[in-house]
Amino acid sequence: MLPKKIHDRKVKLDFQNTVISGPKGVGKTFLVFNFLENFKGKYKYMDFSDYREKNFDFSGIDLLILDNFDFSIDIPPVTTFIITDKKTDIEGFKNIELKALDFEEFFSFDNSQSITHSFDKFLKTGNLPRSIYLEDYFKEEYLKDLFELLPFNKEILKFYFSHIGEKFTLYQIYQILKKHIKISKDSFYKTTNELIEKRVIFEVNKFNSPKSPKKFYAYNFAFKNILTNRKNILLTFENIVFLELNEDEIFYKDTLSFYIPKKRLGIMVMPFANEEILEEKLKKVKDVDKVQVITISNEFEFEWKNFEVEVTPFWQWRFAE
């Protein structure tokens, strides 16, 4: 059954064999439903998470959709969309790795008339498409249910989602976890690698220092709200900004939230920036041509002699891209 209202995503499907991958809740199936609105041929949809008996007769169809596909059957010789949680290379198939909504998509989905009001909702609600359509008192339950459906060790998952933006080595995390749960080192590293591979969490290394503690971010920053009472607007905001960065290589420095070396670009995430604090921080920054200071709402002109500095509210920074 199609949802009542489907919005366009930036990623588009066309009529060719495609693997659509991404974590739970990012809108993979909705992306297919959106394509089907204007599809004129005959299609068959099969959900492999459905326990009911399946009909494997594929004759007479133009398009086959295999949702939650477990590769338990051979892919028939018909144009096929495969929906899965892990990027999988299949000969003759293109890959689409779908992320949760970026803020521009969220704003287009949202009914708010004001960008700033929409951002307030984004900060509280998170970036998953379905959350937008739920009443406020159902949103937390939806996140809890989705968290339980994620097929990973819940204590490991809880740690990463609860500590977004904090700096840890993997060994430190393992030492913390083994005090509370029975877990082997191999199991912990295997799960962490799987979480990164499936884009559930993202790791950011310190520039030119791969053995230093890493920073980790979640594919949906709102999970933290249901897992811990520890609030940290800076780190949540950092997670939001990170997810908006479409860069292959992102690092951090002691002086910068993020550093993109190929552009010699530094990014400082400062929700409530002011000129005095910013000036002190900039004195320590090196090896950049430009620093973008991303705030929640503050905006002011700032002159700096060593490199270009731009202080911009998040929504303005995002829509300027």
Structural domain ending residue among the three candidates 80, 97, 114: 97
Q: What is the pLDDT along the chain (321 residues), one digit of tens a residue?
A: 333 444 689 999 999 999 999 999 999 999 999 999 999 999 999 999 998 988 999 999 999 999 999 999 999 999 999 999 989 999 999 999 999 999 999 998 887 778 888 999 999 899 999 998 899 889 999 999 999 999 999 999 999 999 999 999 999 999 999 999 999 999 999 999 999 999 999 999 999 999 999 999 999 999 999 999 988 999 999 999 999 998 889 999 999 999 999 999 999 999 999 999 999 999 999 999 999 999 998 888 888 988 999 999 998 998 875
Three-class SS state of 39:
coil
Distance CA 167, CA 165 (A): 7
Strand order in the sheet with 80-84: 43-47, 63-67, 80-84, 18-21, 94-97
Answer whether residue 227 is part of any domain: no
Answer whether residue 239 is part of any domain: no
Structural domain ending residue among the three candidates 97, 122, 155: 97
Answer whether residue 184 is part of any domain: no
Answer whether residue 188 is part of any domain: no
Which residue segment(s) compose the domain that 270 sits in?
Answer: 245-321
Domains of the chain: total: 2
Answer whether residue 171 is part of any domain: no
pTM summary value: 0.91
Answer whether residue 162 is part of any domain: no
- Which residues are CB-neighbours of 199 under 8 A, at least 6 positions away? 22, 23, 97, 99, 219
Structural domain ending residue among the three candidates 70, 97, 124: 97
